[in-house]
Amino acid sequence: MPETQGLLVVKLGGAAGIDPQDVLADLAQIARAGRPWVLVHGGNSELDAVSQRLGHAPRFVTSPSGHSSRVTDPQTIALIQMVYRGRINNDLVLRLQGLGVNAIGLSGIDGGLLRATRKEAVRVVEGDRKFLLKDDHTGRVHTVNTDLLRLLLRNGYHPVITLPALADTGEAVNVDGDRAAALVAASLQATAYLNLSNVPGLLRDPKDPTTLVTTIPRDGMDDVEALAQGRFKKKLLGVREALAGGVPRVILGTANGPNPVQAALDGQGTVIA
């Protein structure tokens, strides 16, 4: 499968404070050098902003295991499609086209790219109270249409992937972007999975960037688990899943600064290998 030899899967976070231009310019350079890549991106911060403007303020819940997730009612899943696919994905593809990269945007629905199991109910903890959130449009990706991605890569297109995913029950569902990207990397047998966000990597003290954990051995994930807070817990879950799926190298790095993709490949950030 020469079209995916040396393949990179890059997840670009959607938090505030991330300017995608550095990542895109670097990806354009890597594409010119002939190395294939797939970009997966989020859009949480923009989604929050548009939801507010449309009078549908975002809500979050916490699971018993401490993971935070967005309440995804029918209005929210419609907003996710408008913002992630209609706004951010189109913008990234447009910028890449401007950089000479023949990018093609895809949501998980297109060509059944990201197939998911919809959650029947989401378990929620609020203080002392535990309850089930029903009719939530959330799920977990179980299968990636690698045929479609290989077809595009083989023919010179660079896939830019975003949410939502396509549930087996037919609906669009919100899924965790970090874990979806990890499954894309594992399914394509990528050489490396890079998760770039607004922090330099896993920090021992989230407020102090000098406390970066620079390397984690493959079997050392349990030892660092306790360091992760908030959304970083899902990132580490994605790291575990990518490793378990056979990706030899996972790097958590920053999306900001010059050549952030190359920098991560060179070992800047938290390298798990």
Instruction: Establish if 148 lies at the interface with a second copy (CB under 8 A).
Output: yes
Q: Which residue has the tokens 């899967």?
A: 9
State whether residue 103 is helix, strand or coil. strand
Instruction: Establish if 227 lies at the interface with a second copy (CB under 8 A).
Output: no
Partners of residue 60 on adjacent β-strands? 70
- Selected binder of a second copy within 21, 97, 229, 262 (CB under 8 A): 97
- Selected binder of a second copy within 2, 33, 34, 53 (CB under 8 A): 53
Site string for a second copy, 151-190 (x = CB under 8 A): x---x-x--------x---xxx------------------
Distance, in Å, from the CA atom of 79 to the CA atom of 94, rounded to the nearest integer, reads: 21
88: phi then psi, degrees, rounded to nearest 5: -70, -45
Strands (E), 102-230: 103-107, 114-118, 121-126, 129-134, 139-144, 158-162, 165-167, 172-173, 192-197, 215-216
- The span of 108-116, 133-141, 245-253, 259-267 binding a second copy (CB under 8 A) equals 108-116
Identity of the residue, 51 or 197, whose beta carbon is nearer to a second copy in the bound complex: 51
- Selected binder of a second copy within 109, 149, 153, 185 (CB under 8 A): 109
- Start-to-end CA distance of the chain, whole Å, equals 23
**Least spacing, CB of residue 57 vs a second copy, in Å:** 15
- Interface residues with a second copy (CB under 8 A) are 53-54, 78, 81-87, 90-91, 93-94, 97-98, 102-107, 109-112, 147-148, 151, 155, 157, 166, 170-172
